[in-house]
Structure 1
Amino acid sequence: MDGTVDELTSAYDELIAATAGVLEARAASGGQKTAEIDAALVAFRERWETFQAVCDRAEDMVERARHRIGSELLVDEATGAASPAPASGVPPINASRLEQTSKAVRWLVLEVQRGAGSATPSAAAPAPATPPAAAATPSSSSVAPSDARFPEGPAR
């Protein structure tokens, strides 16, 4: 991770230096188009593309770490190996709630597909007669069940 941060810092510093080079070349030329401005703009573009590539790699690294941490937390919760009190103040993942929500989302996707013109859902994922999460709610509407953490209920 430190290498990624160092690479990002270096690319940023080079981009700022290239930006300053363009501004200095423009000021020195009195606003006229010169070979120095063209060279400075080419250098700026190269540094900009390098900076974008480094940012993309850093974003990918963060995303991989987020997925790995999420997977580890889910496994810990499912196996009971999770610590009893989270250190960051974030509530622990409830594996059964996650599974229930996942099933409800799959059910809603199938309902949307049916409503969007798909005559039947794929044979690999048949729709249940009643959605697992909706079976516990008194309403028979096709909106997702409300989350107990949010008293206002589902968005409509």
Structure 2
Amino acid sequence: MTKTKLAEKKVTKVEKAVVIAEAPVKLAAKPVKVTPIIKRIVNPLVERRRPIKRSTRVSQFAFMKAPGIEHAFEVGDTVEVFCDHEKNRERIRGWIKGIVVQVDNKMVAVQFRSNVYLTDGWMVPDRILWYPVTSEHIRAVPGKKAIVKKDFIPEY
């Protein structure tokens, strides 16, 4: 064996690693900076939107727009509700009069004098039903306005 072969056998792994690390490295090409492409669809109306100013008065209802007169229920109002109810000891579906007993931001509680049922197959009668304020199954009854008696004072 020649001296170079013997020298190679005696070289440890650590020394080989050092030798490899010292070897010059040639770069084939210069690194190119890659810019990421982000596709974003933007509605121009959304970005120009200004914040909505809130009024200091707190409304009774939580709506995007002001509620109409048909949705302004108050405690004590007489309303008609479309539901299953008892009439002459028979269960029928139709409009029945009730009285508003509680009003919430989103719900209205109506109390009845006869038994009413929550849904079609509901077997348990009840006297109070809750409805959403905007439900098509509840409507105000055009009631008689109370005649206010004024003291008539004739002019002399």
Question: What TM-score comes out, normalization by structure 1 length?
Answer: 0.19
More strand by share: 2
Q: Which has the larger radius of gyration?
A: 2
TM-score with structure 2 length normalisation? 0.19
> By percentage of residues, which structure has more helix?
1
The structure, 1 or 2, with the larger RCO (C-alpha pairs under 8 Å, 6+ apart) is 2
